[in-house]
Amino acid sequence: MKPNILIITGYGLNCEAESRQAWNMAGAETSLVHLNDLIEQPARLHDAQGLMFIGGFSYGDHMTSGHVFAQRVKHRLQEELARFIAEEKIILGVCNGFQTMTKIGLLPGVDGKYFEQSVALMHNDCGTFQDFWIHVCFEEESPCVFTRDLGPMMLPIRHGEGKLFTLDQGLLDEMEAKHCVACRYIDPATEQPTQEFPHNPNGSLNAIAGLCDPTGRLFGLMPHPEAFLFPENHPHWEQQHLWNEAPAQGDGLKLFQNAVDYLNG
């Protein structure tokens, strides 16, 4: 039986189509459920093995990105989410979904403490929304189930508030020690994490592009793997075709395939 992924929609979220496509291509079933319907029928959550907070502009990014949506989820669905996590299911957040997950307090969840916000995703250092493709690498030692065995890849970023930040150096060290940093921005010339724009598009501390909790089952990232499902999404696909270097499928799909493999045991 295919695992079922519940995708929450509504209030200005807008990546439902490509997110659904990604999971379907990876071999999962998907249900798109409006947040209001989920609040009305929270049991629907437990029919799913995975949950996705998608990208978009929930509440127009007003009062900082993901903030108001996170508050609504936290007020209405906290108990259900706690149960979902306890049942060892998976949650993915992309872009606005990552912002939402940090603001609900699902990430980084060090010490198994959820539902208290401990890190922020704030305005890019450059001060504006940015859309371009960046290079990321995935940390081998991270427990993240989405990023296992993945080499560096290019993915698009499109956000105005993606700078991972905290004033608490101790927390940052702990996140690193527990390998919660699953994904970093790198400079393609050196293949090393970088703080320099544009390779690090937002000034994120430790070049953090994505975080998981210590279990590796909850994961959020700013880049959009669901926008790289087809080889022709890549900005250099023409050249890749000419040199026969084009992948059979978009690299972004691999994150979803990893998750489905995990759920399929």
Partner 1 sequence: MPTRIEIGLKRGVKDARGNAVVKKAKGFLNLPLRACRTRDVYKLDVRLSRKELTEVRKAFTDPVVAQSAVNRLYVPVFDWLVEVGFKPGVTDNVGRTARALAEDVLNRKLDDGEQVATAVQYFFKGDQLTRGQMLNMARQLLANTLIQTIGIFSPEEWAAHSVDAELPKMPDVPVEVKTYDLSGPDQELLRISREGILSLSLAEMQAIRDYYLRPDIQAARARHGLPVDRPTDLELEALAQTWSEHCSHKIFAAEVDYEDEHGRRETIQSLFKTYIRGATEKVAEQIDWLVSVFVDNAGVIRFNDHLNVTFKCETHNSPSALDPYGGAITGIVGCNRDPMGTGMGSELLCNTWGYCLGSPFYEGEVPEGLFHPRIIRDGVHHGVIDGGNQSGIPYARGFECFDDRYIGKPLVYCGTVGLLPAQINGNPSEEKQVLPGDLIVMAGGRIGKDGIHGATFSSEELRQESPAQAVQIGDPITQRKLYEFIIEARDQGLFRAITDNGAGGLSSSVGEMAEFSGGMDMDLTHAPLKYAGMQPWEMYLSEAQERMTLAVQPEKIEAFLALAARRDVEATALGTFTDSGEMIIRYQDQVIARLDMEFLHDGCPRMRIPALWRKPSPPTPKPSRKGLCNRHLIELMARLNVCSKEYKARMYDHEVKGRTVMKPFTGVQCDIPGDATVLLAEYDTKEGIVVADGINPFYSDLDAYAMAQSCVDAAVRRIISVGGRLDRIAALDNFCWPDPVLSEKTPDGPYKMAQLVRANKGLYDITTAYLTPLISGKDSMKNDSVRGGRKISIPPTLLISTVGKMDDIRRAVSLSFKEPGDLIYVVGLTKNELGASEYFRMLAEEQGTPEHCGGFVPEVNIPEALATYRAMQCAVEQGLLRSSHTPTLGGLGAGFALCALGGDLGTEIDLSAVPCEPDMEPEAILFSESNSRFIVTCRPEKAAALEAVFEGVPLARVGQVADSGELYVTGGMGKNVVHARLNTLRASFKKTLDGI
Residue 248 phi/psi, 5° resolution?
Answer: -70, -35
Which contiguous run of DSSP H or E holds residue 239? Answer: helix 237-242
Is 95 marked active-site?
yes
**Structure token pair of residue 71:** 């508050």
**Spatial CA neighbour of 211 closest among 171, 265, 258:** 171
Q: What is the 3-state secondary structure (H, E, C) of 65-109?
A: CCHHHHHHHHHHHHHHHHHHHHCCCEEEEECHHHHHHHHHCCCCC
CA distance 57 to 26: 25
Residues 56 to 75 in contact with partner 1, rule: CB under 8 A: 56-57, 59-64, 67-68, 71-72, 75
Q: Do residues 52 and 95 touch, judged by C-beta distance below 8 A?
A: no
Is 232 marked active-site?
no
Binding of partner 1 by 174 (CB under 8 A): no
Is 126 marked active-site?
no
**Structure token pair of residue 32:** 């798109």
Residues 142 to 161 in contact with partner 1, rule: CB under 8 A: 156, 158
Residue whose CB is less far from partner 1, 121 or 218: 121
CB of 141 to partner 1, least distance (A): 26
DSSP notation for 45-58: GGG-SEEEE--B-G
CB of 44 to partner 1, least distance (A): 14
Largest pairwise CA distance in the chain? 53
Residues 217 to 256 in contact with partner 1, rule: CB under 8 A: 224, 226-230, 232-233, 235-239, 241-242
CA distance 183 to 174: 16
Residue whose CB is less far from partner 1, 82 or 242: 242
CB of 163 to partner 1, least distance (A): 8
Q: Which residues bind partner 1 (CB under 8 A)?
A: 9-15, 17-18, 21, 34, 36-37, 40, 55-57, 59-64, 67-68, 71-72, 75-76, 103, 117-120, 122-133, 156, 158, 165-167, 203, 224, 226-230, 232-233, 235-239, 241-242
Active-site residue numbers? 95, 224, 226
